[in-house]
Amino acid sequence: ASIDTSAQAEEGVRRRDFINIAAVSFAGVGGAAVLVPLVSQMAPSADVLAQSSTEIDISAIQPGQAIKAVFRKQPVFIRNLTPEEVSAADKVDASSLRDPQTLEERTKEGKTNWLITMGVCTHLGCVPLGAGEGEVKGEFGGYFCPCHGSHYDTAARIRKGPAPKNLEVPEYAFISDTVVKIG
């Protein structure tokens, strides 16, 4: 009888293990379903990952267009602002901003049309939209972070939402009129 009891106890343990494992698996599936949209939003796209050089040819970026490059495995937005976008960004009273900076302070002298920023939201690090063809732009004509709804303006300055700072401007220099070196 004692052998039977022990066998039953063992069987009971196995069942509990199974139930525990099943519960964990279901939790895992649920967690994954919630995480996937965030992860895909945070991960740089394949074309971004394929580009490893920090010297970038910008000759094909027309006014009003932008590309995503990569620097230290993080996305960088390189945007050629139209004259209208430059003047709209200039008209903003920088002292009224959460992170006060003029367009001039965020660009190189004589090249205020070239806005180069990290493509990393300063809230929790998602990749904002607005630097690619067909992407949603923020209501200020700039960038929109889909994770928690931060809006950045045409000069990538924070205007609304939880992000505390403007999109960061990385170290960069123009090697020529058509090539920029990030970092």
Binding mask 132-151 for ligand FES (x = CB under 6 A): -------------x-xxxx-
161 interacts with ligand FES by CB under 6 A: yes
- 61 versus 124: smaller Cβ distance to ligand FES: 124
- Exactly one of 68, 79, 106, 123 binds ligand FES (CB under 6 A); which one? 123
Q: Considering only 28-36, 93-101, 122-130, 171-179, which stretch makes contact with ligand FES by CB under 6 A?
A: 122-130
* Length of the chain counted residue by residue: 183
44 interacts with ligand FES by CB under 6 A: no
- 12 versus 125: smaller Cβ distance to ligand FES: 125
163 interacts with ligand FES by CB under 6 A: yes
- Considering 25, 100, 148, 179, which one is annotated as catalytic? 148
| Residue 15 beta carbon to ligand FES: minimum distance, rounded to whole angstroms | 43
Cα gap 149→159, rounded to integer Å? 11
3-state secondary structure the chain: CHHHHHHHHHHHHHHHHHHHHHHHHHHHHHHHHHHHHHHHHHCCCHHHHHCCCCEEECCCCCCCCEEEEEECCEEEEEEECCHHHHHHHHHCCHHHCCCCCCHHHHCECCECCEEEEECCCCCCCCCCECCCCCCCCCCCEEEECCCCCCEEECCCCEEECCCCCCCCCCCEEECCCCEEEEC
Instruction: For residue 148, indicate whether it is catalytic.
Output: yes
- Exactly one of 126, 131, 155, 158 binds ligand FES (CB under 6 A); which one? 126
Q: Considering only 56-64, 69-77, 94-102, 157-165, which stretch makes contact with ligand FES by CB under 6 A?
A: 157-165
Cα gap 130→149, rounded to integer Å? 13
**Active site residues per annotation:** 148
Residues that bind ligand FES (CB under 6 A): 121, 123-126, 145, 147-150, 161-163
